[in-house]
Structure 1
Amino acid sequence: MRQLLLDLIPAAPPSLDNFVPGGNGETLAALSLWRAGANPESSFLLWGEPGSGKSHLLLASGFVYRDARQTPDLANLPELLETPETLAVDHVEALSEAGQIALFNAFNRIRASGGRLLTAASQAAAHLTLREDLRTRLGYGLIYRLQPLSDPEKIAALSNQARERAMKFPPEAMDHLLRHAPRDMRSLSALVEALDRYSLEHKRPITLPLLREVLASPLEH
């Protein structure tokens, strides 16, 4: 995304309130209840394709967060966990052998202490290429698939956001935004807010030419 617009995007942290569920209402409700302790299961696995909102929900959980793509060995994990232990591990399929052992040990500690382990993967537990003992344990708990929002669902959510901000967002500009901006809802929502701020600061209405101008602004290094 272009630097001009990136400079305007607010750093709104992921939360359960700003997650757009679409067809994932049941999953979001189950996660909220489990996180609150209403379900005795210690493990909750979210899986689905990129852009479906897995990372958003893990970050919104408030648990100690680790992304296996960045720290595949889950280094220093025991020192980070508190009692009761709560841990969120993203992209578990990217764990190294050492990381899989660390997560296996963490799973056992969390289960014994009454803590919570939230994980996310691109596939269901049965299809993950992991150590059998870890894969089996991840399959013990709750498993939900996140479905990506359809384009009509994204348009409805963004249009509602625009109405709440009293924005006039032409349909052709909304269509262009969906085709040329990042596809995840958090980025799209931030872009709508940034465009509102940009149009107010420059005293120009949001039009398709304005949107094209902003999206085409050269990157600043």
Structure 2
Amino acid sequence: MKQIPLAIGLGPEPGFDNFVTGPNGVALHALTQWRQPGPPVFLHGRAGTGKSHLLAAWAARVRGQGGQVAWFHATTPLPWQFDEAWSLVIIDDAQDLDEARQHAAFTLFVEAATHGTQMAAAARLPPVDLPLREDLRTRFGWGPVFELQPLDEAATRAVLRREADARGLMLSDEVMDYLLTRFERDLGSLKSLLHRLDRFSLAERRAVTVPLLKKMLTEGEVAA
């Protein structure tokens, strides 16, 4: 019987200080210097480019200053009811909003404008290309729009090394090479895989090696 690992080693919380900038310095600088309330901010780019990290870092800063943050995803249950106490409203995965949530998102924009609440959103596509109703696409693209680019290999290695160190996980160059040559270099997916590997190594009471990683994948171990 395997030991069930405790929920430890969850990795660092997203912050501006632990965002690996790579080619995305303009967006990072803009958000760290942002004075709210201001026009809506929109981030777009392929999966794993850091959109959610930057939004989470912004949310953490707002909360640290005593503000309240609302975060909506394309799967967040309806109704989406605006609260005047919010300082920042985030809409993530905007490209996947269904018709009902498009209406809800547009209403949030109207309420936010009325009450002086900062809006921010993210999607894989720029506002002009989103498969959404025209008035909502216009709202998303009303303020500054930043495209995030994928990290190069060196920066991706730095992110994974930092994540592993934060978990107390010894990640050899051999394991790192295997991860980067056998899997998509989508940071979100790679971090999820690292989380699974951390838990699997704890359950197996074995150091992280390529054979252990292969065993985890063969057994179909799922993230908890």
- Give the alignment's TM-score, normalised by structure 2: 0.72
CA RMSD of aligned residues (A): 3.7
Q: Indicate how the Cα distance of structure 1 residues 5 and 182 shifts in structure 2: closer, same or farther if over 3 A, else same.
A: farther
Q: Indicate how the Cα distance of structure 1 residues 85 and 78 shifts in structure 2: closer, same or farther if over 3 A, else same.
A: farther
Q: Indicate how the Cα distance of structure 1 residues 216 and 136 shifts in structure 2: closer, same or farther if over 3 A, else same.
A: same
Q: Indicate how the Cα distance of structure 1 residues 19 and 184 shifts in structure 2: closer, same or farther if over 3 A, else same.
A: farther
Deviations 1:25-55 (A, max 9, x none): 2212212332x52xx5231111111122223
Identify the match of residue 54 of structure 2 among 53, 57, 60: 57
Cα distance in 2 for residues equivalent to 1:188 and 1:4:
24
Q: 2:121 is matched with which residue?
A: 119
Deviation of 1:119 (Å): 0.7
Cα distance in 1 for residues equivalent to 2:188 and 2:38:
29
| Secondary structure in 2 matching 1:99 | helix
Deviation of 1:82 (Å): 3.6
Where does 1:1-221 land on structure 2 (aligned, <5 Å)?
Answer: 10-12=9-11, 14-16=13-15, 17-34=17-34, 37=36, 41-62=38-59, 63-68=69-74, 70-71=75-76, 75-79=78-82, 81-159=83-161, 169-180=171-182, 183-185=185-187, 188-189=190-191, 191=194, 195=198, 198=201, 202=205, 204=207, 206-219=208-221
Cα distance in 2 for residues equivalent to 1:10 and 1:164:
7
Aligned length: 210
Give unpaired runs (5+ residues) of structure 1.
Answer: none
Deviation of 1:9 (Å): 7.0
Contact 2:12 2:166 in 1 (8 A): no
Give unpaired runs (5+ residues) of structure 2.
Answer: 60-68
- Give the alignment's TM-score, normalised by structure 1: 0.73
Deviation of 1:22 (Å): 2.3
| Secondary structure in 1 matching 2:146 | strand
